[in-house]
Structure 1
Amino acid sequence: MTQPSPEEYDQIIDCTIPKYRQLIDECLDVVSHSDVEVRDWVDVGAGTGNMVMVAREVFPDTKYVLLDLSKDMLALAKFKLGDANMRYVWGSSDNMGIMDSSADVVTCIQSNHYYDDAGHADVLSECYRVLRPGGILITTENVGARTEYGRKIQRARLRDFLLANGRNEADAEMFLDRYGVEYKPRSVDEHIRLLEEAGFHDVEVFWMSSSQIGLSATR
């Protein structure tokens, strides 16, 4: 499947990830109800800046770092968000190049599902390193079904979602064929295990749909 341009990404994201806007709202709601003083926020795999667009409405005085491996995505994010309280970093999630203990909040919104377990562990270690003690990580990723029967239902639901939102049969099948190959859904237990092995505590599932999971964790 051809990767969309940054402009196309913003147009099709709601038609690709079920409940995408709700997912972002839920992430922000958790941060808003935490006892963290939100001075510095790092958005990992920031893409075109959709998470920060919403976050700055609630936390206008916070300083944001948007990190992404795509310069084109960052350029569009900068066009949307401007420079005030924003810093744009071209880099990889598993080697951020951001100072130790420099963030109160780190978000990873649908950005790490291309990594295998070892790569995902490296990303979580980087998130842990960048957070200040007591800081909060908010991460959302694809969630895998526990059984083959559950996986069959999950795939059928995702297929119907894609078709109902303008994808044709061929595109839907190509997207589904990436399951476990290009992107790697993990079970709830696997997500929790990786976070705890990275050193996080207070790991909680705060949201889940048929395809995605939202977790919070504290350094």
Structure 2
Amino acid sequence: MNQKNKTPFKAAEYDMNVRKVIPMYDIIYDQIFDLIKTVFPNKKIALLDTGCGSGNLGVRAVKDLELSDLVLCDPSQDMLNVARSKVTGNNCKFIQIGSENLDYEECFDIVTAIQCHGYFDREGREKAVKNCFRALKNGGLFICFENTAPFTETGRDIMLSRVENFGRNAGRSEEEVKAHSARYGTDFFPLTIREHMELLNKTGFSSAEIFWHSYMQSGFYGIKR
């Protein structure tokens, strides 16, 4: 499956709108960088961010980490243009490519995929995660955040209602919150937490864990040994 950028938001409007649909959006990034600093304290890092979107992780990485290399990838040139306007540094590269087409071999200490693999079908997701695994050096860290599916239909209905309430409180219209719920299972394809863990283990990560969950979003990491 060839991934295109499937966010419902135009690149220039992404930062304004994403916080209205993803609860605790900024806290997600706090969790990511806390994990990175815990696993790699006082280390110069080569980092690949797949599905980089408007570059928010790259901005934070330049500010908070000591970087040897920073590569930001996204299938959308419009998103990369926004990221390029925000992320500065001579060691930063911008590449228009999706995770399913990555071709790196043991180049990075960290690979991140934040809210971007959920647009793949299962085959495409497996390929994308394998490519991220292959891009890591031995001892490298893969971090992904994705929408996750509850285990039951009742759980799904409750979760979607909570997300709709969050959107209303954030100022979205009734039409907008219902349109977002309608994308579940049609524009993005959540796995359960169990399925995410199985995929990481199947890919070959020696350690695979969930380290954060709220509303629909879950954070996972895998370590390559």
TM-score normalised to structure 2 length: 0.93
Match of 2:8 among 3, 10, 13: 3
Matches of 1:46 and 1:80, distance apart in 2: 12
The residue aligned with 1:89 is 95
Displacement, 1:205?
A: 0.8
The one-letter amino acid paired with 1:64 is L
Task: Give the gaps of 5 or more residues in structure 2.
Answer: 1-5
Match of 2:62 among 56, 61, 68: 56
Residues 38, 104 of structure 1: 8 Å contact kept: no
Q: CA RMSD in A?
A: 1.5
The residue aligned with 1:78 is 84
Pairwise mapping of residues 6-45 of structure 1 onto structure 2 (< 5 A)?
6-35=11-40, 37-45=43-51
Q: Tell me the secondary structure at the aligned position of residue 113 of structure 1.
A: helix
Match of 2:192 among 179, 187, 192: 187
Residues 46, 67 of structure 2: 8 Å contact kept: no
Displacement, 1:96?
A: 1.6
Displacement, 1:83?
A: 4.2
Q: Tell me the secondary structure at the aligned position of residue 99 of structure 2.
A: coil
The one-letter amino acid paired with 2:10 is S
Matches of 1:172 and 1:38, distance apart in 2: 42
Matches of 2:52 and 2:133, distance apart in 1: 17
Displacement, 1:88?
A: 0.4
Residues 56, 62 of structure 1: 8 Å contact kept: no
After superposition, give the CA deviation of every residue in 1:151-199 in whole Å (9 maximum; x if it has no partner).
1110110010111111111111111011111111111100001111111
Pairwise mapping of residues 1-219 of structure 1 onto structure 2 (< 5 A)?
3-35=8-40, 37-97=43-103, 99-219=104-224
Displacement, 1:54?
A: 1.2
Residues 74, 95 of structure 2: 8 Å contact kept: yes
Structure 1 2/76 Cα, relative in aligned 2: closer, same or farther at 3 Å? closer
Matches of 2:9 and 2:161, distance apart in 1: 24
Displacement, 1:90?
A: 0.7
Identity %: 32
The one-letter amino acid paired with 1:192 is M
Residues 67, 96 of structure 1: 8 Å contact kept: no
Displacement, 1:35?
A: 3.8
The one-letter amino acid paired with 1:75 is N
Displacement, 1:58?
A: 1.6
Matches of 2:215 and 2:78, distance apart in 1: 31
Residues 202, 217 of structure 1: 8 Å contact kept: yes
Task: Give the gaps of 5 or more residues in structure 1.
Answer: none
Matches of 2:133 and 2:168, distance apart in 1: 38
After superposition, give the CA deviation of every residue in 1:37-90 in whole Å (9 maximum; x if it has no partner).
442100000011101111222214332000000111111111111342200011
Q: Tell me the secondary structure at the aligned position of residue 62 of structure 1.
A: strand
Q: Tell me the secondary structure at the aligned position of residue 119 of structure 2.
A: coil
Matches of 1:2 and 1:81, distance apart in 2: 21
